[in-house]
């Protein structure tokens, strides 16, 4: 997980989170004289941090299971968000409670489904399948002839990755379905976040994460293979939350101050490739040639959709730290 608390590539056409008053937390920024190359490097480090955190999370599956990891990430991540955004100090208009509840529910379901997918599907493939959610939102929001090209590329990528006929490539069907469910939840998360963010501003991040934790933390604790409250597990849970939330969020915000939104979004389309690389390095998950073709097709569709996205069809959302499921 987009995250990764992280926005989808198409979402980066928007500005930084709207500030409702002077109590809003400061946005990290690079010095004015910094080179754009520094911003690109920070963005790459952010992606590596996010996917490295996802790899670390997967190594805990034999101990607490994907449900336990979900509980750790949402529980500790919510605490970090509450401490950073301090929503009780923000002046929020409110009034759109249904969208906020949908946003939190989608966030929790996105994380839960993504980690269930990682149980049987390589990290790179899971992230690529999940990317189809925000990609679909961006393309359906535009409906221009050029978007047909990106639809064809995305469908081609799915045909290469999904276990259909001779193209199975060892990918588990149940795991692939969980990844697609995570992508669908990511799409709902984007649409609900747009509406909730207009009412609750920066506080949307912490409040949505709290809602997700209240629902899925108990579920994860009950379904975990062993207790997640041991001193051997909690430090790893904190590290996962930092790698998939605080660190990439801060680095991405710094990069956004120096990179045009379209450049930022195009670079973020590399996320599935970074996930595959992380899977190879940390988990020994080597992909077949067909699977790499599938990843390349989805990355091309995401980058193409970002590059051809028009301002009038942009998706306005609130930048949410640490909610990309790939940290997921």
Total residues belonging to the chain: 328
- Residue 16 CB neighbour total at 10 angstroms: 13
Residue 25's pLDDT band, with cuts at 50, 70 and 90, is low
Would you say residue 91 has pLDDT above 90? no
Most confident of 60-74, 93-107, 162-176, 310-324: 60-74
| Backbone phi and psi for residue 25, each to the nearest 5 degrees, phi listed first | -65, 145
Flag whether pLDDT at 324 surpasses 60.
no
pTM above 0.75, yes or no: yes
What pLDDT score was predicted for residue 116?
A: 97
Q: Give the separation between CA 231 and CA 284, rounded to whole angstroms.
A: 28
Rounded CA gap, 28 and 31, in Å? 10
The single residue listed with the structure tokens 């588990």 is 172
User: Residue 255 above 50 pLDDT?
Assistant: yes
For residue 11, give the DSSP letter.
G
Residue 14 has pLDDT above 70, yes or no: no
Q: According to the model, what pLDDT value does residue 236 have?
A: 95
Q: Which residue has the higher pLDDT, 65 or 5?
A: 65
Q: Give the separation between CA 94 and CA 62, rounded to whole angstroms.
A: 42
For the segment 126-135, the average pLDDT, to the nearest whole number, is: 91
Confidence at 323, pLDDT banded by 50, 70, 90:
very low
Q: Residue 2 pLDDT more than 60?
A: no
pLDDT digits (tens, 9 = 90+) for 297-319: 999 988 888 888 765 444 444 44
Looking at residue 16, what DSSP letter applies? S
Most confident segment among 32-41, 158-167, 291-300 = 291-300
Whole-number Cα distances in Å, 315 to 4, 89, 138, 206: 17, 27, 7, 21
Handedness of CA 270, 252, 202, 309 (dihedral sign): negative
Q: Record the tokens describing residue 76, joined without a space.
A: 């500790």
Residue 176's pLDDT is: 93
Task: Record the tokens describing residue 99, joined without a space.
Answer: 């969208």
Local structure of 1: helix, strand or coil: coil
Residue 40: count other Cβ atoms within 10 Å of its Cβ: 16
pLDDT (mean) for 103-113: 96
Q: What are the C-alpha distances in Å from 276 to residues 52, 130, 157, 282, 287?
A: 11, 13, 15, 10, 8
**What is the pLDDT averaged over residues 60-81?**
94
The Cα 49–Cα 252 span in angstroms is 11
**Domain regions of the chain by residue span:** 33-313
| Mean predicted confidence (pLDDT) in 154-169 | 74
Pick the range with the lowest mean pLDDT from 43-52, 105-114, 218-227, 246-255: 246-255
Q: What is the mean pLDDT of residues 82-104?
A: 81
Tell me the average pLDDT across 94-102: 84
User: Is 328's pLDDT higher than 80?
Assistant: no
192-214 pLDDT, tens per residue?
988 888 887 777 888 899 999 99
Lowest mean pLDDT segment, chosen from 25-29, 141-145, 314-318: 314-318
Higher pLDDT, 164 or 176: 176
The pLDDT of residue 316: 46
H helix runs in the chain, sequence order: 36-59, 61-85, 97-118, 123-142, 147-161, 173-200, 203-223, 234-241, 247-256, 261-268, 271-278, 289-307
């Amino acid at each position: 997980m987009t995250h990764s608390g992280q926005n989808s590539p198409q979402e980066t056409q928007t500005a930084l989170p709207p500030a409702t008053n002077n109590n809003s937390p400061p946005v990290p920024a690079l010095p004015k004289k910094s080179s754009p190359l520094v911003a690109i490097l920070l963005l790459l480090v952010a992606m590596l941090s996010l996917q490295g955190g996802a790899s670390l999370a997967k190594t805990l599956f034999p101990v607490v299971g994907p449900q336990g990891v979900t509980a750790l990430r949402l529980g500790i991540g919510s605490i970090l968000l509450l401490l950073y955004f301090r929503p009780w100090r923000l002046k929020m208009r409110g009034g759109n409670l249904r969208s906020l509840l949908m946003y939190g529910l989608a966030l929790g379901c996105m994380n839960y489904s993504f980690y269930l997918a990682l149980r049987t599907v390589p990290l790179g493939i899971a992230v690529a399948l999940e990317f189809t959610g925000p990609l679909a939102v961006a393309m359906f929001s535009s409906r221009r002839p050029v978007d047909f090209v990106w639809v064809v590329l995305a469908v081609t990528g799915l045909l290469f990755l999904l276990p259909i006929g001779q193209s199975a490539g060892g990918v588990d069907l149940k795991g692939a379905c969980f990844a697609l469910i995570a992508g669908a939840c990511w799409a709902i998360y984007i649409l609900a976040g747009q509406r909730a963010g207009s009412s609750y501003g920066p506080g949307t991040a912490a409040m949505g994460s709290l809602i997700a934790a209240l629902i899925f933390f108990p579920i994860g604790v009950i379904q975990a293979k062993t207790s997640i409250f041991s001193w051997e597990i909690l430090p790893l849970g904190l590290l996962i939350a930092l790698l998939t939330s605080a660190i990439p969020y801060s680095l991405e915000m710094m990069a956004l101050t120096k990179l045009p939104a379209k450049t930022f979004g195009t670079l973020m389309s590399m996320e599935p490739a970074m996930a595959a690389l992380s899977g190879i390095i940390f988990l020994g998950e080597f992909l077949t040639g067909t699977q790499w073709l599938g990843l390349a097709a989805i990355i091309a569709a995401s980058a193409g959709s970002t590059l051809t996205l028009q301002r009038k069809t942009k998706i306005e959302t609130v930048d949410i730290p640490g909610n990309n499921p790939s940290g997921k």
